[in-house]
Amino acid sequence: MIRVLIERHIAESLESAYEERSRRILQGAVSAPGFVSGETLVNARDPNHRITLANWRSEADWDRWYHSRDRQELLNDVKPMMDQDEKITILHQC
């Protein structure tokens, strides 16, 4: 199993619109093969910094979802609300 850390920074005043659209991305991932679980967190010191931590069965499963048309279409709804590029870190257990 791998963990994927997804960091996004939302432009000021777009938090509620972002929340609605980002939930759609997570819902899409839930139905993707290899998705195990996920949670979204808010940085306690910066409420516009959102972190999603997702567990995937394998890196191949994550890559399939990451490059899927479904994810790209859902992400296109969120990108205009971000003031920085999405940052993704793939984590393996030691």
CB 92 within 8 A of CB 2: yes
The number of folded domains in the chain is 1
| CA 68, 70, 73, 76 torsion-angle sign | negative
Domain at 12, CATH number: 3.30.70.100
**Which structural domain range is residue 72 located in?**
2-92
What tens digit of pLDDT does each residue of 7-37 get?
Answer: 999 999 998 899 889 999 999 999 999 999 9
Kindly report, residue by residue over 39-71, the tens digit of the pLDDT.
999 999 999 999 999 999 999 999 999 999 999
For residues 6 and 86, the answer to whether their CB atoms sit within 8 Å is yes
Q: Quick one: pLDDT at residue 54?
A: 97
Please give the C-alpha separations between residue 93 and each of 4, 79, 90, in angstroms, as whole numbers: 11, 30, 10
Judged against a pLDDT cut of 90, whether residue 81 lies above it is answered with yes
Mean pLDDT of 76-84: 95
Specify the residue for token string 């984590």. Answer: 91
pTM of the full predicted structure? Answer: 0.92
Q: What is the predicted pLDDT for the residue at 94?
A: 86
